[in-house]
Structures are given as C-alpha cells and as structure tokens.
Amino acid sequence: MTFKELNLKEEILSAIGELGFEFPMPVQEKVIPFMLEQQSDLVALAQTGTGKTAAFGLPLLNMIDPYQKQVQALVLAPTRELCIQISNDLKNYSKFLKTRVVPVYGGEDIRTQLKQLDTTPQIIVATPGRLIDLIDRGKIKLEAIQYLVLDEADEMLNMGFKEDIETILASTPATRRTTLFSATMPAEIARIAKKYMKEYTEITIGTKNSGSENVSHIYYISQAKQRYLVLKRIVDLNPDVYGIVFCRTRQETKEVADHLMRDGYNADALHGDLSQAQRDTVMQKFRFRNLQLLVATDVAARGLDVSDLTHVINYNLPDDVEIYTHRSGRTGRANKKGVAVSIIHSKEKFKIKDIERMLGKKFEQQMIPNGLEVCKKQLFHMIDKMQNVEVNEEQIAPYMEQIMKQLEYLDKTELLKRFVSLEFNRFLDYYKDSEDLNYHEKDRGIRRDRDDRDGRSPRRDREDGDNNREKRFRRGQKVRLKVSLGTREGINPSRLLGIINDIVGDKTVSVGDIEITNKFTFFDVFADQLDKVVDSFAQQKDITLAAARESNGYQEKTGSSYGGRERSSTRKKPSYNENDRRRSSNSARSTERQGGGDKPWRNRR
Ligand code: AMP
C-alpha cells in the first residue's frame, strides 16, 4: 500500500514525501483509512515509535478546514516533550497547508502560549493541566471540537491526569469523534472509553500488551550486590550500545550514573531532581548521541522520544508489567532491532515468568560474560573500526616518511601486536582476574520464609526517597533476622547499625527492634530490604545471618534453634575486632572493583 492510495491531499503527500515517508507503517495502514472513512470512535493499541503520530495526524490534517477559525481538533498528550514533538510533527506534515497547530504545555511561561493563542489555531496539542488552565482563563474554547485524540492514554492515567482528562472530555461536544491511543489496556482505560466514547472500534497493532516484534528480551541472574558490575559487563560487551538504563529511585539513578561517569563511560543521569533546563540539556545530548547511556527513572524518561535505541537495560525490574512494556517499547522502533536486558537476582525469576505470560513472549536467560568474552568482543570491535576508518591521506602524508623510518625495524605482526596492546592493555588488565558474576545455587547464603522468597515485597519507592521508607517501615511487613554477633563481640545497637551499613555499602537499611544476646543479635528489617541485606551478608565469610522466625511470630530469640536455616560456617569465629579488619579489607577490595582505580575505558568517547 502507498500513501497515495490512502486518499490524502496532495499537500500532505508532498510534505511527508519530503520527510522520506515512502510506505505507511502498519498502524497508519489501519488508522488512516478508518479515520477518513468511518464515523465511529477508535481505540488503538499501539506502542510508541510505531508511527502513531502520522496515523492520527495525517487524517486530522486531511479533514480539518484551514479556513475555519476555530479549534477543530484537540490532541492530549501526557508530557511536555511529547506535546512539543507531536506539534512539530503536525507542523511538518502540514507544511503546505494553511492549518495552524499550537502546543500548550506546563513548565513554560504561560504568557508565550497566551500570545500564540491570540490567533485561533485549528489544532491544539496539549498536556491536560495547562489546557484546563487556559480553558479557565477563557483563552481556549472547545465547543467547536470535532476530533479529539488521546495519545498515550495509559501514561496519562499513570501520571495522575485521570480527573483532568475526565474534565476535558466532559467539556467537549458530544458530537466529537474520539481516537484513543494506548500501549496497554488497563481496566481504567476501558472504563474511560466506555463512559466517554461512543460505540468504538478497537484496533490492535502487534499483540495486546506485547512489545514490538523487533525486541528480544534477555535477562542475567546475579547477586543484587553485583548489579553494577553486571551492568558494566553488559555495556562492555556491547561497545556500540545506545540505550537507557532504568533505575527505581532518583538516588539509585544518580549513583549508577556517577559510577559510570567515574569509570569513564559516556553516561549521564535523568531524574526528578534536575531543573527543566538541566533535563532538556541531558535529553538533547542523548538525542544527538553525544551520550551513549542515559540512566533514568521511569518518571523522568517519560516524554523522551528517541527512535533508535539499541538497548533498554532494566537495572532493576519494575513492579508491574505495564512499566516493563513501556520501557522495552523504547527500543526496537522504526523497524530496527532492539534488546531489552534485565539484571535480576535469583528470587526475581517469578517476575520474569509473570512478564513472559503477560507479553506472550519468551525471555532468554543468558550467562553474564566472563572477562575473556568481553575482551574478545572489544578487541574485534576495535579491529573492525580500524578496518573501516577513513584514512586521511592528505593530512598524514607529511609525517609518513618519518613514521616509516622510525618503525622500519618492526614487521607487520610486531606492529599489530603493539597497536593492539596500546589500545587494549587497560581492558585486558581490568578483566584479567575478573570474577564470575553469575548467580549459582551454591552462592545461596540463607533460606528465607516462603513469603519473602516469593518476593511479595516489591520496593515501591520509585522517586520517593527516604521519607516514604520510614512510612513503609512503620506500616510494612518486617522480617526478623539473626546475626552471629553478640555482646561477646562487643555488639551494641549503634555498632550493629554501623556493621549493617558497612556490609550493605550504604545507609538505606531501616533496622528495628534490636535484641542482643551473648552470641547473637536479633533485629527486624523491612521485607523490601531483605534481599539486599541477605545478599550483602552472604559475601561475609565470618558472619552468618539467618531468618529468626517461621512465617508468623518469632521462632526463638535465644539462638538455640539456629541450625538448618542459615549459611553454616565451619570457620572458627574470630573476635569482632578481627572480623572488622577482615571486613574492611573486603570492602576496600570491592570498592576498587566497582571502578575506583581500575577503569577499563577511561578515554571512552
Ligand atoms: P511515532 O510513533 O509517531 O513517534 O513515529 C516514530 C518514528 O517513525 C518517527 O521518527 C517518524 O518520523 C517515523 N515515521 C512515521 N511514519 C513513517 C513512515 N511511514 N515511514 C518512515 N518513517 C516514519
């Protein structure tokens, strides 16, 4: 099928021809004829990056009367960035038409937008909050609206625009035609469609709730504590990676991005603590590929529209499948192949199963590559680059004679060895004795209550930081643990906290209800944080940590029935001081490994 066969105006065909659109994308083949020929409403389930904007934009431009000075079409979008993008796309498609398109969105001085509205446009592209503001000021009138498009409706709901959307829907004429786009179909969307739309047709592009066919999904299993090292391996294994690393919290986003930058990677962070100007700068750098890796929270990455990501990396799995769908839908766009990678720990396998079921797709577990594999990949990437490099004969000509003379005594093999070593020694050194980061059953330090192992404790603190952690701790489920340190090792509550912080590597663990006996200390942790604590302690050779209770109530508090539930240690238990020394030398080692002094690609582009 061609665009011409879709009966679009010549002006539109010329404009999209200039943009290089040759053939309609699947969503366009379905939606354009529907909007042009049918009278009913439409719910279209399509991922971002599938060509949605032209799918609704071209028929809108075809049907709107540019000589009628009234707002005839309204497009609602969840974010400022998407709003600007849709508006720019529509302006490009209507380059040869007289139709006026104006975007209105929050986060920009309202006076500029008021000015732009002095002449009534035919199409308004808006974020819900700012639109309501402008309606309240009497600057936008919706009574002549014939077409309403809700883009990324599920995202608008996720962002809390439900009431605003309902207000807007209720203030547009009942005669309007509504088209709703959504990547997923949660019950709330179905409810809104039922309540506010006339009889509608549902079109699904791809499978419902499923990501693009172009995305392959893989996961690596490691210990939670090794996540960052796994991330580095993944990145090192894919030298041309251009992707987003999704984290759960602002804090984690900052930490991961800081580490990557410190380790010489071309990365930056995008999170809610940045000002709008800072966000814009980071996004712009990423769009122009001046950044290879963008570390972001889900909230901050909304509205960032980049079509050709090679990878989406889930530094942590999200709590629900819809978020996973959104994240992974950011790669594999515009007919390109993409990879969605998740770094998980062994207790999260059930989450992968859930996502597989919902998406109807099989995920592939891959082994985390060892140092040799990474080195080989990097080396041949470098060799490929050398083969393909453009040789600037003219510029290097003046130096060639001297270079030839200086290197005359080296044969080709010797030359290549030196060239490879020059570029590659850092990398070889870094990965020389690299550890196996894969999780093996034998690494399992401790068995936990079934409830906890089943992981019914997803951390919900996406961007909410410390305050909520406190609140959660008060209302959430606690797990009683027992550690093999007591008064004879000089433990008191503050020392216990110090040890936990030291072993976990940060100060985020909330500890409650501490009871210290001669040999053991019992304490509560929030179920959310159990894995983190347990995985960290599992690295300690001389301290054992075990669950102190069965599913309900405490099993015991004296340490007598300790056996069977903990990682047993046959070593002689050292005094706490000796222990302390060992632990600090361990953590010094691990800090170094995390990238302190030993960085493979310091001069990465
Ligand atoms: P969208 O889902 O609207 O954000 O579109 C994704 C990308 O595909 C954008 O960069 C569009 O410019 C591009 N695009 C949309 N339709 C076509 C088409 N028919 N042919 C080629 N590229 C297209």
342: its two tokens: 């998740």
Mean pLDDT is lowest, of 65-79, 100-114, 297-311, 373-387, for: 297-311
48 lines ligand 1 (CB under 6 A): yes
Fold agreement (3-204, 476-592): no
303 lines ligand 1 (CB under 6 A): no
Q: What is the mean pLDDT of residues 518-536?
A: 85
Determine contact, residues 12/61, Cβ cutoff 8 Å.
Answer: yes
pLDDT at 578: 31
What is the chain's mean pLDDT, rounded? 80
Cβ partners under 8 Å of residue 26, min gap 6: 50, 51, 205
Please state the atom number of ligand 1 nearest to the C-alpha of residue 3. 19
Is pLDDT above 70 for 284?
A: yes
Query: Rounded to the nearest whole angstrom, what is the distance from the C-alpha of residue 335 to the centroid of ligand 1?
Result: 10
| CATH number, domain 215-369 | 3.40.50.300
24 lines ligand 1 (CB under 6 A): yes
Is pLDDT above 80 for 204?
A: yes
Residue of the CA atom closest to atom 8 of ligand 1: 51
Determine contact, residues 209/46, Cβ cutoff 8 Å.
Answer: no
Query: Rounded to the nearest whole angstrom, what is the distance from the C-alpha of residue 311 to the centroid of ligand 1?
Result: 19
For the stretch 59-108, pLDDT in tens is 999 999 999 999 999 999 998 888 999 999 999 999 999 999 999 999 88
Backbone dihedral angles phi then psi of residue 549, each to the nearest 5 degrees: -145, 165
Would you kindly state where each structural domain of the chain is located, as residue ranges?
3-204, 215-369, 373-430, 476-592
Residue of the CA atom closest to atom 6 of ligand 1: 49
Q: What is the mean pLDDT of residues 206-231?
A: 81
Please state the atom number of ligand 1 nearest to the C-alpha of residue 22. 20
Is pLDDT above 80 for 372?
A: yes
What CATH class has 476-592?
alpha beta
Q: Which of 20, 22, 19, 30 minimizes the C-alpha distance to 4?
A: 22
pLDDT at 344: 94
Residue of the CA atom closest to atom 10 of ligand 1: 307
- pTM attached to this predicted model: 0.51
Determine contact, residues 104/125, Cβ cutoff 8 Å.
Answer: yes
Fold (CATH) for 3-204: Rossmann fold (3.40.50)
539 lines ligand 1 (CB under 6 A): no
292 lines ligand 1 (CB under 6 A): no
Pocket test for ligand 1, best of 1, 13, 18, 19 (most atoms within 8 A of CB): 19
Is pLDDT above 50 for 591?
A: no
Please state the atom number of ligand 1 nearest to the C-alpha of residue 46. 2
pLDDT bracket for residue 212 (50, 70, 90): low
Please state the atom number of ligand 1 nearest to the C-alpha of residue 23. 19
N-to-C CA span, the chain: 42
211: its two tokens: 């990501």
For the stretch 382-411, pLDDT in tens is 899 889 989 999 999 999 999 999 999 999
pLDDT bracket for residue 476 (50, 70, 90): low
